[in-house]
Structure 1
């Protein structure tokens, strides 16, 4: 499909750009304007049509990939997935309901705890390098900005990918994207220096546990981090 045929308007700068772009592209897919197997317009053409940077488009497509709506082929582009491959989609407005958001975060906890344990057992040198790269993004000069939040999400995706189970990568990546708004909200309400440093420290402990191939310690580190993250957004979860 030519990018000029997609009925998507420019995105307001006050919105969370990647999520809004992903939602609009998802609507084009579910309404049949983009059909299974069809190639999406290039990053360049989408960025021009939408009036955003290519990095924003890239993040939106990554979100659609995590949701199973598109698949990417190295050096070729992004293609609409076959209908049978698509999981349930959760819309942003649904997570405006506190109970829905809490339910999604509750689901995140067992998934990511298990992912941490499996990552400790099965990670490769390349997986650990990706985890370290994301951690470097969290601890660098940009840790106070939204790019620090993006590095946080990349860290969790890298851990999920290190399980060597593509379904963990798919579901953890999807949930992390949906919850990214809450990370921003936590930063807005808290003393930024305190919340950022605590979050980084939790990730360092988790990284070291995975690197040491200790699944029990990795699971505990992830549990500590997720419960801490929940408390920082005033979310009370059921524990057993």
Structure 2
């Protein structure tokens, strides 16, 4: 059984760093349109790896606080372009809040998987395969395995080719990371990682078939399994 008193302490680094940068953008330290420090400099400032910084920037991009330009860097967005929806870092700190989060995930990501099965391209499937290779690689037991898990869900949303699914799945992945860490802390790591990988492989294979019903079923099984690992009852069919 997951110990929800530990969730805040297990909150992952990208979330905390995204919250800190987000506060500085909101407070005006980074003006609209201003370029943020480089990944290298941010990594040095926070004492983390560049991959952690990249995920933090991805969170901020999903929240509409930054935009990234290929080969140039990340910039604070103009005020008129900023999204009004934002999931605060400390909100899901109890069991009820996690149940609410998973109910939203269930509705959103089940449909996302179905649409991905209809609209996925060879490039989308290649991206899912690349992420699965990261999930099953040597670092699957650590933080990079969790990062790959979240990237998989974002890639499924991207395969819908619906901008709104991509945006809203991006909004909730920040808090999903906390749920994964809580589940890993509450179970035998080797067992939960292997089960989770198998669930993601089933989702990928169902999307590849082009059958929405199969993809939805695979996603439902994964989310129900993830909820059970947190001792949550979703009350969803």
Tell me which of the two structures has the higher relative contact order, counting C-alpha pairs closer than 8 angstroms and 6 or more residues apart: 2
Q: Which aligned segments of 4 or more residues in structure 1 are displaced greater than 3 angstroms? A: none
**C-alpha RMSD of the superposition:** 1.6
Structure 1: gaps of 5 or more residues: 1-13
Compute the displacement of 1:49 (Å).
2.4
Instruction: Verify: 1:83 aligned to 2:79, yes or no.
Output: yes
Asked whether the 8 Å contact 2:87–2:172 carries over to 1, the reply is no
Superposed CA offset, 1:35-69 (max 9, x none) = 22221111122222223222221111111111111
Compute the displacement of 1:83 (Å).
2.6
Paired residues, number? 227
Quote the residue 1:175 is aligned against. Answer: 172
With normalisation by structure 1, the TM-score equals 0.89
Change (3 A) 1:128 1:198: same
Quote the residue 1:113 is aligned against. Answer: 110
Superposed CA offset, 1:187-223 (max 9, x none) = 1111222211211111111111101111110011101
Report 1:123-162 matches (<5 A). Answer: 123-162=120-159
Supply the distance in 2 between the matched residues of 1:35 and 1:163 (Cα, whole angstroms): 33
Supply the distance in 2 between the matched residues of 1:187 and 1:25 (Cα, whole angstroms): 27
Compute the displacement of 1:235 (Å).
1.2
Asked whether the 8 Å contact 2:11–2:178 carries over to 1, the reply is no
Instruction: Verify: 1:24 aligned to 2:20, yes or no.
Output: yes
Quote the residue 2:47 is aligned against. Answer: 51
Structure 2: gaps of 5 or more residues: 1-9
